Amino acid sequence: MAKRSEVDRRHIPRRTCVACRQVRSPRELIRVVRLPSGAVEVDESGKKPGRGAYLCPDKSCWERALSKTMLEHALKTQLAKEEKETLWQRCSELPVEPVGQNTAAKYE
């Protein structure tokens, strides 16, 4: 029988934002996925097949990742013009800074 301490410990997955490199739970981040077909889209469920990259849910991370091609590098693909426009549209819908998070401190 397993020891009680081994049973109580649960593995909690952690993911890194490609823009600010902050490590968080996958539920706190937004996943962008390159599907096996090569298309790139936002993965709302976090379960779509393909190569994924994670971004914080704030505008500064999305702007940085899209303008400096960090997202393309993480997904190992070139984004099509339509895909970039869709991602920039999603970026414009995000808050500048989520409540309780100091984005300025992330880049220091």
Q: What is the CATH number of the domain that holds 84?
A: 3.30.1230.10
- Predicted confidence at residue 38, as pLDDT, reads 96
Whether 43 and 31 have beta carbons less than 8 Å apart is answered as: yes
- Predicted confidence at residue 107, as pLDDT, reads 46
Q: Other CB atoms closer than 10 Å to residue 96's CB: what's the count? A: 9
Residues in the chain: 108
Tokens of 62: 């999305």
- HSE-CB at 62 with a 13 A cutoff on CA atoms is 24
Containing structural domain, residue 22 = 12-95
Could you read off the pLDDT tens digit of each residue along the chain, which spans 108 residues? 555 555 567 888 999 999 999 999 999 999 999 999 999 999 999 999 999 999 999 999 999 999 999 999 999 999 999 999 999 999 999 988 754 555 444 444
1 assigned to some structural domain: no
Q: Which amino acid is at 18?
A: V
- Predicted confidence at residue 1, as pLDDT, reads 53
How many domains does the chain contain in total?
Answer: 1
40 assigned to some structural domain: yes
